[in-house]
Structure 1
Amino acid sequence: MQLEHYIGELLYRYSCITVPEFGSFLTHYRSAQLQNHTFYPPSKAISFNAQLTSNDGLLVKHIAETEGLSYEEALINVKKVVLSWKDSLQQEEKLVLKNIGLLWPNKEGSIQFQPFTDKNYLPDAFGLSTFTSPEVTRELLKEEVVLLEEKTPLLFTPEKRMRKRSYLKYAAILLLSVSVGTVAYQSVRMEQQKKQLQMAEQEAQQQLQKTIQQATFFDAAPVDLPSITLKATRKPLYYVVAGAFREEENAEKKMKELTTKGYSPERLEPTKYGLHQVAFGSYTSARNAINFLHKVKATEAPEAWLLVSEN
């Protein structure tokens, strides 16, 4: 199974794709750039976090629906691929994931990641490609004309030479006219492309505010429970969940415990399975939420997870 193919399909729609028991591929918006006469359109920059390994069900569910398998069968196939990936990395081999990036272990045993840039996973940048604008060659053409005139053989009378110089003068004027016209055309084209780029960036920012990734992180592979989607009625949209309780009384105890420790806990709406969830807090920024999740898992609650709600 080409697991990287399914990861690539999800990278177009989501900002975090977790491979169970392996790590997560994260994306963030990167603005358009102009470097050394080369234009780079806006895109999604890909990074890898080996600490986010809890199965959120997103990748496995997508594979199961695409290949017509049950969730358990798809999860088993994913685990087989992950075992082969880990075996390659343990043997200090480089792992190439097509259209995604290159993974390899460093001397300390940590996994390093280098993303490939030939694939743009930003849907709003569809149709925009990298191109290079040639440098202005006006002075070079003038120098070529002067050198050509100096190297002309003196096998004619002075009168003919004057006529020849006249021809060269006209040729130089023609070449300069063509060059100036080319530069003017390129300037107009660059101005139009800048305007199109600004419009594309504005549309991408607006679309980004409307598109929220739906994913629930668990510490264990979900068997009886599918992915949970919270229908929130207000922002912020990212919740760092401390626990989910069958009894509401236990949820209240957790709220008091977190309040005593200095947190500002929140009670979420009960799920359709009757679970009462308690969150450490909520965020409108995915990056801030993930950073807090790492901190709280390391110092307070290893079982905490990230819940992303819908608009």
Structure 2
Amino acid sequence: MQLEIYISDLLYRYECVTIPGFGAFLTQNVSATVDVASNTFHAPKKVLSFNEQIQKNDGLLANYIAEVEKIPFEIANKKIEKRVRLIKSYLTQGETLTFKNIGDIVFNKEGKILFEPTYQLNYLPDAFGLSQFSTPEIAREVYKKEVEKIEKVIPIAITPEKREAKSYLKYAAVALIALTLGGFGASKYYVDQVETHNQLAQEEATKQLDSKIQQATFNLNPLPAVTLNVTKQTGNYHIIAGAFRIEENCDKKVKELKNEGFSARKIGVNRYGLHQVVYASYEDRLEALKALRNIKNTHNSDAWLLTKQLD
């Protein structure tokens, strides 16, 4: 049984893989690092260590072996115990055992286990595909300090070419000042002319408007009076058209009846929590009964008369 292969598989997923009766391999996440001396960048990884104090069987390794080899859990434990006895015998004889892709194990003079991890595999899944790389050192040239040193010992001389250039600059500056002053004078004259023109135009427009107002004649014909006849729904006799649990349906019914010519309206909620709609309300009982018979014969046979004083 290749015990190190199963341990290696589990180290990708777990931080602790215990070999019952022998010890446990532990992992710890380490961030990416830079080796300044060699200019090498190292990817994040899991660092391996070994602790022989952790020997209690947690079932992780045995379960994995049983699952892979399709054997019972008890047989997997027996295989582990057999392999541990063999490992301890080799170590007692002073041999160094190499767990492939994990590291080397040996006994020291006191009979304690020494573990030297290998770095052939990175057990951190998030760093899959990342490898270390080196880059040449960046040489930063500091010119400022060198220039400052030179300026202290070497004076700055003005050559004839520089003097000639300075004279050109002098004449250019004089021309620029002259143009600027001339521009200010021309600009002021132009602005004054525009303001004068605008003022004359405004005065002329005001005269023409006053003339038009004086000549205009306004003929205001009075509009005909509009008389609105609003009939207020009153009375204690109400012809019920229906009652609705949802008020929205009640509003739709009122609108429908009004479109058909009735003086429909809502009169509130009854004791059953229903919104009531009436065709119309009447002050005279006989008039209400006459309207009810007409509605029953022509519109709604389920209509009925409610006698109630509304608030």
TM > 0.5: no
Alignment TM-score, normalising by the size of structure 1: 0.43
Alignment TM-score, normalising by the size of structure 2: 0.43
The higher radius of gyration belongs to 2
**Higher relative contact order (Cα pairs below 8 Å, separated by 6+ residues):** 1
